[in-house]
Amino acid sequence: MLYWDYAAAAPPYEEVVQTMEQVMKQHFANPSSLHRAGTEAEKLIKRAREVCAAALGVQAQEIIFTSGATESNNLAIKGAALQYQSRGRHIVTTELEHPSVYESCLQLQKLGWEITFVAPDSTGVVEPSRIAAAVRPDTVLVSVMHVNNEIGTVQPLKEIGQQVKAVNRRTLFHVDGVQGYGKLETRLKEWQADLYSLSAHKVRGPRGTGILYVREGVMLFPLLTGGSQEMGNRAGTENVPNIVASAKAVRMSGERRQELSSRIMPLKNRLEQYISGIPELVLNSREDGVPHIVHFSYPGMKGEVMARRLEELGMGVATRSACSSRLAEPSRILLSMGRGAAAALGGIRISLGDNHTEEDVIQLEQALLTAVRSLKIAEGGVK
């Protein structure tokens, strides 16, 4: 089967697997222990922190390791809200955000925080002036993702950061960078980002490790307490093999970003052009979106039906983000863009990786056409 779900999880680099195996065998000690084996493990974490910081253009002490981007997003949003609630209890975000951001905001809303959800335009891009207009003197945090994980649209973070800071200098700016890093340039200083989240397994690293950049001077209320690991921001014994392997994946993905983009952008453009030529399908991703995501709908046909038919034809695709793929409800993202329920129920996400070739795309195109034709003529037009 051809795998077209890199946005959910990318296969780890062989070098990452080898590094993880080596560290698991040779550096199994607790990095908080004072003996030599423990201090050697601690040094590995220190070096991994430096590698990630260099990849992002920040300082090593500004990097926190977590269990994944979901925890990084939760810590950024709830940690900032709880730490700075004396400034206010208002947060601004968008209707496009990943569930780990969106649900964190809803949870805070239940606890008394006021949340402003800004809608995107019909193409899935949020106007910076609309974000800035929602910022108030009591706005503690603004959270906007770099790239939408479902349809691949890229948000104008530089303009958003400038306008937010112009309205309220003390408002923190958080960016969920999970789908952007390794595909697009990451410019934290230019964006004026105070917090930035990453996930290792999206950039060909291991599952179970996330990264959170916390600008020097920003304090977070820790969600996990116990030990003093991660500079007091996150208690718990560090996963040394995962952290070291994740740092390697972050470095390699950053170094290979331009090569990856130049390889897969033509494949994405070809695929979008092909899908646009199938009358039953509606393209939701933009030509100027992230290089690795193509998204379309088959209005009136449930996404999981289309996904199963494509899997029968040897193609592994997604109906939406992996965190929401088992939900039977319409896509929150497509609804926020003004798509009808029929289109929002029929979304399919195809995400490319550096292993894909033009021949793979040709096979996918043939499978798409076969799937549409077979579903169209199926008895009752399977709904």
Q: Which residues are catalytic?
A: 323
**Per-position DSSP letters for 2-67, written without gaps between them:** EE-BTTT-PPPPHHHHHHHHHHHHH--S-TT-SSHHHHHHHHHHHHHHHHHHHHHTS-GGGEEEES
Backbone angle region of 74, left / alpha / beta, with phi > 0 → left and psi within -120 to 50 → alpha: alpha
**Per-position DSSP letters for 136-188, written without gaps between them:** -TTEEEEEEESB-TTT--B--HHHHHHHHHHH-TT-EEEEE-TTTBTTB---H
The first and second tokens of residue 367, run together, are 């499978």
Q: Which residues contact 125 (CB under 8 A, 6 or more apart)?
A: 153, 154, 155, 156, 286
Calculate the CA dihedral of residues 58, 60, 61, 66 and round it to 10 degrees.
Answer: 100
